[in-house]
Chain A
Amino acid sequence: MRQLKVEETDRLLTEIAKSGEQLPAVERRQFLKNGLSMLGGAAALAAGGSAVAAGTAKYAPPNVPPWTKSLGAPVIADPYGVPSPFESDVVRRNVPWLTADRIASISFTPLADLKGIITPSGLVFERYHAGRPEIDPDEHHLMIHGMVDRPIILTMDDLMKFPSTSMIRFLECPANGGMEWRGAQMTKLQFTHGMLSCCEWTGVLLSTILEEVGVKKGANWILAEGADGSHMSRSIPMEKALDDALVVYAQNGEALRREQGYPIRLINPGWEGNTCIKWLRRLEIGDSPYYQREETSKYTDLMPDGKAREFTFVQEANSVVTSPSPEKPLKGKGKYWLEGLAWSGRGKVKAVDVSFDGGISWRKARLTGMVEPRALTRFGLEWDWDGSPALIQSRCIDETGYVQPTYTQLRAVRGSSSIYHKNAIHTWRLHADGSVTNVQVS
């Protein structure tokens, strides 16, 4: 019998380190399987297409493949287009042994297979606390009340009439990588860093709505609340609301996805994903924070002295090499394009450095695309692999001059029980056979 466990993610995350050892044999094997399918070759389950190995291709020139000598599918064969079946293993994944219940749960973005900085909407990581509600936009309302001159209720039609703003910003769960605080644990990039995505978000600046309702003197905080069964709720300081917080109705050019809060969500750029309330239904303006469960029991950072930091909103500078990675092993020595992602909740990424010797020496990488504040930023560098083992790292420096810390530096201040905001330099161990594994170094 498979003993099913129920999701209580944050607590579980802290326990992953020990659970790996404590799992019953079957679950442990499944866990390993999930983390290691890439090492074991093609995933047994990912039936369907995978690229034909080089050298065995039937249709290499001078042969002509059948699709060149026949007609293809007509227009609107897929009224809403979907990726090629040959990309069928590029999907969100959860950690099945972690959660029997997928209602209060999390799934991870497949970072290794993504290019550029935009995460396709269907691959943005999911985090639910009471499942994903199915909301009729005609029945959705946003109430704004509390310390305001004009408490109002807006329909979706009302909301769409306000001036509209778009911005490309990352979205990251503060527990991203939280499993690694006590030691290297997860075996794939998807699970070490996959609570991370970046989209173009379009909506109405919260400041516009606040101006419309008239905020009273002394109002310093806003309670944002969702319409899902968990009524997810967080207190947002007025400064952020007036800076760049956005009430979002569109993502990557189309209506917000249900997973992301359809029909509306809040985006607090650069801040904890949890503050970006989905299925937003209510904004209450008040004088002080509301001390919701998600800002006391959760999303506070426990320090070694027993004190806990509260309202730790910003996601500090971070980075990871996406190729090579466990999902993207190397096939023999030669020239490679190493690439990865960097981001900072405080602004723009200024520079990224890469090390091949575990942090003894560093090379500057190139920022290869758009550099937007509080957005994923792609970096890369050309590299000639001589076939010897390496310890590959990346280090982000943001426009405030903040330098991404090592594990040693981070743990020296925060210990290893704080669950959230782990932004330490990550190490991939490249083995002589080209495979890549997760390690932590001194």
Chain B
Amino acid sequence: MSRYLNMSSLKILSLAALLTVSMGSGVAMAKDTVKDKGVGHYGYGKSATAEEIAGWDIDIRPDGRGLPAGSGSVEDGEMLYEDKCASCHGSFGEGVGKYPVLAGGQDTLTEERPEKTVGSFWAHTSTLYDYIRRAMPFPQPESLSDEETYAITAYVLYLNDLVEDDFVLSQETWDEVAKLPNNPNFVPDPRPDTHAKRCMSDCKKEVKIVSEPTISAEEVAAADDTVVKAAAGNEEGAGVYNGACAACHNLGVAGAPRLGDTAAWKARIAQGEETLIKHALEGFQGDAGMMPAKGGRMDLSDEDVTAAVKFMLVESK
């Protein structure tokens, strides 16, 4: 990937003007509360201590407010990213399957199919740290340490050619990368931006159909077939699978054999369905990794899990 942007050009990015929001017109509505009751009028609840707040106050703001102590390097980030993120987002942030692309797409925003990534579209590095901290890795949110989050954030910046491979992210270096390249291109909401008139007759000369979903009668008939077959299979199992097992088994997260990967399933299937169901119900530590009992979803019934295993086996034979 080309290093089209270096640190100095990052620094000269203009400061984003604080937005002005155009508000929807307020609707007058009866307020049940009498105004000016004053602070603490009800006195409900308990006052929040600094320690209680610290446990939940996870957001990071564009200027770095909220950043924890510590640091993380691109170098450390690489290993962590490979381990915890690459299975879904790809080793280069290119995105596996339909998982989000995290890098690339520069200069595509005006194209027919824009690719919006951290490097091409996002405005603030704080959003990246904040989001990884609150929501990633997808199956285990809030599992990363502050230092790991610094390192992975630095690495995603690196994947976007925004920092060098010796970069270390911390409160001290924050300002160097706080604003992402596309930062100046966000604008306030100017709506209403269409100004249609209420015409009642002779509003246009002619009408042409310009677009319809492309379908044919044969495809409809064929569609009926497929779904009947799928239903004769195991709808319920598919449902449980999607809800409880797909997070690992779709892409092989944590060493899970991937759905439909016949090679990975061959030896397992040879153990017999009963053993596989037992392993799914009770959990199983194999060479590839750890299959948690019921995929960690103890709320599922044995029947549900059994149906999911059966679905997986049909799909993976």
A4 adjacent to B259 (CB under 8 Å): yes
CA distance A67 to B103 in the complex (A): 65
List, in ascending order, chain B residues with CB within 8 A of A233's CB. 59, 134
**Chain A residues touching B, range:** 35 or more
Q: Determine if B299 and A4 form an interchain contact, defined as CB atoms under 8 angstroms apart.
A: no
Q: What are 7 pairs between A and B in contact, CB < 8 Å?
A: A1-B316, A40-B224, A212-B37, A212-B39, A362-B203, A391-B209, A414-B193
> Which residues of chain B come closer than 8 Å to A353, judged between CB atoms?
198, 200
Q: Quick check: B187 and A307 within 8 Å, CB to CB?
A: yes
* Contacts A129-B135, A302-B116; A207 near B223 (Cβ below 8 A): no
* A6:B99 contact, CB within 8 angstroms: yes
Residues of B within 8 A of A114 (CB): none
A244 adjacent to B201 (CB under 8 Å): no
Residues of chain B contacted by A102 (CB below 8 angstroms):
239, 242-243, 246
Shortest beta-carbon distance from A360 to chain B in Å:
6
In contact, B207 and A357 (Cβ under 8 angstroms) = yes
Q: Are B203 and A291 in contact (CB under 8 A)?
A: no
Contacts of A308 in B (CB 8 A): 109, 121, 182, 185-187
A120 interface residue per 8 A CB criterion = no
Binary interface profile of A, 135-157, with partner B (CB < 8 Å = 1, else 0)? 00000000111000111111100
As a 0/1 sequence over residues 211 to 230 of chain B, the CB contacts with chain A under 8 angstroms (1 = contact) are 11111000111111111101
Q: How far is the CA of A164 from the CA of B122 in the complex (A)?
A: 40
Check B44 against A441 for contact (C-beta < 8 Å): no
Q: How far is the CB of A421 from chain B (nearest CB, A)?
A: 8
CB of A314 within 8 A of CB of B191, answer yes
Q: Are A229 and B135 touching (Cβ within 8 A)?
A: yes
Least Cβ distance of B85 to chain A in Å? 14
- A306-B185, A314-B23, A440-B210 are known; give 18 further A-B pairs, CB within 8 A: A29-B223, A32-B215, A102-B239, A131-B243, A145-B57, A151-B53, A152-B45, A158-B44, A184-B213, A230-B134, A289-B19, A291-B126, A311-B188, A346-B24, A347-B25, A403-B197, A409-B196, A442-B209
Say whether A8 faces chain B, with CB atoms less than 8 Å apart: yes
A-contacting residues, B5-27, CB 8 Å: 18-19, 21, 23-27
**Complex: how many Å from CA A282 to CA B191?**
30
Q: Are B189 and A309 in contact (CB under 8 A)?
A: yes
A92 interface contact, C-beta 8 A? no
The reply to whether the CB of A130 lies closer than 8 angstroms to some CB of chain B is yes
What's the Cα separation between A26 and B233 when bound, in Å?
Answer: 15
Least CB separation from A11: chain B residue:
B100
Report the Cα distance A304→B110, complex, angstroms.
Answer: 6
- The reply to whether the CB of A197 lies closer than 8 angstroms to some CB of chain B is no
Provide the residues of chain B in CB contact with A205, threshold 8 Å: 31-33
Any chain A CB within 8 A of the CB of B278? no
Which residues from A are CB-within-8-Å of B262?
1
| Contact call B200/A40, Cβ cutoff below 8 A | no
Q: Is B192 an interface residue (CB 8 A)?
A: yes
B47 touches A151 (CB 8 A): yes
The 5 closest A-B pairs by CB, nearest first: A33-B223, A214-B39, A358-B207, A314-B24, A183-B211
Chain A positions 172-218 with a Cβ under 8 Å from a chain B Cβ: 183-187, 205, 207-208, 211-214
CB distance from B27 to the nearest CB of A (A): 4
Q: How far is the CA of A130 from the CA of B215 in the complex (A)?
A: 34
Q: Does B1 contact A (CB under 8 A)?
A: no
A310 and B19 contacting across the interface, CB-CB below 8 Å: yes
A153 close to B48 (CB less than 8 A): yes
Instruction: Decide yes or no whether B42 CB sits under 8 A from chain A.
Output: yes
Q: Is A381's CB within 8 Å of the partner chain B?
A: no
Q: Which A residues have a C-beta under 8 Å from some C-beta of B?
A: 1-8, 11-12, 14, 18, 20-21, 26, 28-33, 35-36, 39-40, 44-45, 99-104, 129-131, 134, 143-145, 149-155, 158-159, 161-165, 167, 183-187, 205, 207-208, 211-214, 223, 225, 229-231, 233, 237, 239-240, 243-244, 269-271, 281-282, 284, 286, 288-293, 296-297, 300, 302, 304-314, 316, 345-347, 351, 353, 357-362, 373-374, 391, 395, 397, 400, 402-406, 409-410, 413-414, 417, 421, 429, 437-442
Residues of A near B239 (CB, < 8 A) are 102
Q: Which residues of B contact A316 (CB under 8 A)?
A: 191-192
Report the Cα distance A348→B217, complex, angstroms: 42
Per the bound structure, the CA–CA distance linking A139 and B98 in Å amounts to 36
| In contact, B203 and A290 (Cβ under 8 angstroms) | no
Do B127 and A293 touch across chains, with their CB atoms under 8 A apart? Answer: yes
Once bound together, how far apart are the Cα atoms of A230 and B142, in whole Å? 9
Residues of chain B lying within 8 A (CB to CB) of residue A164: 32
Q: Does B52 contact A (CB under 8 A)?
A: yes
Other-chain contact of B200, A167, A305, A362 (Cβ < 8 Å): A362
- CB pair B227–A231 under 8 Å, yes or no, is no
Least distance between A138 CB and chain B CB atoms (Å):
15
- The yes or no answer to B286 lying at the interface (CB within 8 A) is no
Q: B residues within 8 A CB of A292? A: 59, 127, 130-131
Q: Of all chain A residues, which has the CB nearest B226? A: A29
Report which of B24, B38, B204 forms a contact with A271, defined as CB distance below 8 A. B24
Q: Tell me, rounded to whole Å, the shortest Cβ–Cβ distance linking B148 to chain A.
A: 17
Q: How far is the CB of A352 from chain B (nearest CB, A)?
A: 11
Report if A149-B39 is in contact (Cβ < 8 Å); known contacts: A186-B213, A296-B124, A360-B204.
Answer: yes
- Residue contact B56 to A281, C-beta cutoff 8 Å: yes
Closest chain-A Cβ to B287's Cβ sits at a distance in Å of 24
Is B250 an interface residue, CB under 8 A from the partner?
Answer: yes
Contact (A29, B110) CB under 8 Å given A143-B56, A441-B210: no
* Whole-angstrom CA separation of A165 from B35 in the bound complex: 15
In the complex, are the beta carbons of B21 and A311 less than 8 A apart? Answer: yes
Tell me, rounded to whole Å, the shortest Cβ–Cβ distance linking A389 to chain B.
10
**Smallest distance from the beta carbon of B14 to chain A beta carbons, Å?**
14
A36-B223, A403-B198 known; A441+B209 contact, CB < 8 A: yes
Q: A8-B98, A101-B242 are in contact. Are A32 and B219 (CB under 8 A)?
A: yes
Q: Are A309 and B33 in contact (CB under 8 A)?
A: no
Once A29-B219, A429-B212, A440-B209 are accepted as A-B contacts, the answer to whether A212 and B40 lie under 8 Å apart by CB is: yes
Contacts of A31 in B (CB 8 A): 223
- Interface check B141, CB cutoff 8 A: yes
CA distance A397 to B196 in the complex (A): 10
B62 at the interface (CB under 8 A from A): yes
Contact status A130-B114, CB under 8 Å: no
